[in-house]
Chains A and B, each alone.
Chain A
Amino acid sequence: MLDTKDIMETIQMIREENLDVRTITMGISLFDCVSDDEKALCDRVYDKLTRKAEHLVRTGEDLEKRYGVPIVNKRVSVTPVSLIGGRLSPDGYIRLAHTLQKAAETLGINFIGGYSALVHKGMTESDKRLIESIPRALAETELLCSSVNVATTKAGINMDAIRLMGGVIRETAYRTRDRQSIGCAKLVVFANVPEDNPFMAGAFHGVGEPECVINVGVSGPGVVSSAIRRAGPCDLSELADVIKKTAFKITRVGQLVAHEAAKALDVPFGIVDLSLAPTPAIGDSVAQILENMGLESTGAHGTTAALAMLNDAVKKGGVMASSHVGGLSGAFIPVSEDAGMIAAVERGSLSLEKLEAMTAVCSVGLDMIAIPGDTTEDVICGIIADEISIGVANTKTTAVRLIPAYGKKPGDRVEFGGLLGYAPVIPVRTDSPSVFIGRGGRIPAPIHSLKN
């Protein structure tokens, strides 16, 4: 028989410390839907998605009941749409966006990702038309998520793409101004984007992926936070061990669910993403972990060191618990989705600059940060360029999901509801980087990318 203590520990993690499986994401290739006829393309996409993922939600619910652990989201990611759009007109892309939305509604999933383009070295005509259609696509749909990869360590940084994205983000904010600019919460700009990420808004089904695959994202900041609190005044080596052991247990749940979901759906298992993904629920916060480690507030000097240690220990614990690890795998620090981060920003303890420093040691980047609605395109491009260069120089994924909240000023609040939470509008430096950004072109790949 299992140890009673172990059983109670598991139950406590689930019932009191918000342990859950954050998402089961089914990746589906759309390459075989390609057609030179727009209607045929849309029909094939709809048919394929609703056929392949028909049982996804039910399977998730069955597993939830079986293991007694919440599986919060069931999602689908697809091949980056710019790769299958071919000669679609901008209006054609919008119709494809509506098709994806309709398929997501039919399936009953919470998000569909992959309205994406990979333009780290340059842009095809098709990529450009897709990127320009993003604001309308996000304004006219609810469940569609979009991402654009503008840089890799191998290719360098496509500054022309960043310049384009500055405008796209502002236009998306404007087009969804009646809903707190929520469109921007579904749009991510990446460096070194992973092709098997199960988390939204950045999920898509990469070109090296199979026909269909199951990826799972675990969670559990509340569990780690409680374990640290229980550990008491131990030194940091011991604390790292506590985090590793906890991460191992959390990841084993993800691995079990991933394995069983893949078996039930008769789809290969892809990866488990070892991320600590917070929610706005009290206690389910990465910021609270940092504060339990001994910081007065997240954002205090010492935050980057604490986060670096946390991120590393989570990976070390998780990697042995899963047969394949992938996706983003690290602690997320979204502002609006983490009650502790929100409180730190509201206290004035956590600035945009500190958040940027923190992203150098964790996944993913400047995430779900509301900035003043009058922030200029050039400044947004500057923020993106800074963040992306951290990813490129450190051979890691970084991303930017900024919400220039229309009509809002620093100190105002933006409410999205649900998992997206709410965010205080954070002040942004207004000194202009416009001449630098306006130069365009590519920032060359760093020397350490030349490994061959």
Chain B
Amino acid sequence: MKAIISVTGKDSVGIIAKVSAVCANYKANITEITQSVLHEYFAMIMLCDITGITVPFAEFSDQLTKLGRDNNLEIHAMHEDIFNSMHKI
């Protein structure tokens, strides 16, 4: 089971570290990262294997949203099925 974590907002030191720490904390395995910085804006998409996460996905997602709020970033974790449904036939 995979989830996609999207992070957008103003660039600052340690964004990847903070998001990765939450993933590690709940045993979500990061399998792929793409990220870019355009002017001072940061955008990252992480693909995570959430098969072994230690809490329900909703709680994992809430933790990331909270991390985003605390750091002035938009962070959303969404199950990959929504993207597959929309963009693959």
- B76 touching A11, Cβ below 8 Å: yes
Contacting residue for B79 out of A1, A6, A61, A66, CB 8 A: A66
* A69 and B82 in contact, given A1-B47, A62-B58 (Cβ under 8 angstroms): yes
* 0/1 interface trace, chain B 44-86, chain A, CB 8 Å (1 if under): 0101000000000110011000000000001011111111111
- A94-102, A249-257, A404-412 - the one binding chain B: A249-257
Measured CA separation A2–B81 after assembly (Å):
11
Is B87 interfacial (CB 8 A cutoff)? yes
Across-interface contacts of A65 in B (CB, < 8 A):
57-58, 61-62
Inter-chain CB contacts under 8 Å: number: 67
* A68 and B86 in contact, given A1-B47, A4-B34, A4-B45 (Cβ under 8 angstroms): no
- B57 touching A252, Cβ below 8 Å: no
- A252 touching B85, Cβ below 8 Å: yes
* 0/1 interface trace, chain A 47-80, chain B, CB 8 Å (1 if under): 0000000000000011001111100000000000
- B87 touching A2, Cβ below 8 Å: yes
Is A376 interfacial (CB 8 A cutoff)? no
Is A7 interfacial (CB 8 A cutoff)? yes
CB distance from B68 to the nearest CB of A (A): 12
Contacting residue for A68 out of B34, B45, B82, B84, CB 8 A: B82
- A67 touching B47, Cβ below 8 Å: no
Is B32 interfacial (CB 8 A cutoff)? yes
Is A324 interfacial (CB 8 A cutoff)? no
Across-interface contacts of B29 in A (CB, < 8 A):
none
Measured CA separation A66–B78 after assembly (Å):
6
Contacting residue for B85 out of A3, A8, A61, A255, CB 8 A: A255
* 0/1 interface trace, chain A 143-182, chain B, CB 8 Å (1 if under): 0000000000000000000000000000000000000000
Chain B residues with a Cβ under 8 A of chain A: 4, 6, 32, 34, 43, 45, 47, 57-58, 61-62, 74, 76-87
A-B contact pairs, 20 of them (CB 8 A): A1-B32, A2-B4, A2-B80, A2-B83, A3-B87, A7-B6, A7-B83, A9-B87, A10-B78, A11-B6, A11-B76, A65-B62, A66-B78, A68-B77, A68-B79, A69-B78, A249-B86, A249-B87, A252-B85, A256-B81
Chain A residues with a Cβ under 8 A of chain B: 1-4, 6-11, 15, 61-62, 65-69, 249, 252-253, 255-256
Given contacts A4-B34, A68-B77, 17 further A-B contacts (CB under 8 A): A1-B34, A3-B87, A4-B45, A7-B4, A8-B6, A11-B78, A15-B74, A65-B57, A66-B58, A67-B81, A68-B76, A68-B79, A68-B82, A69-B78, A252-B85, A252-B86, A256-B85
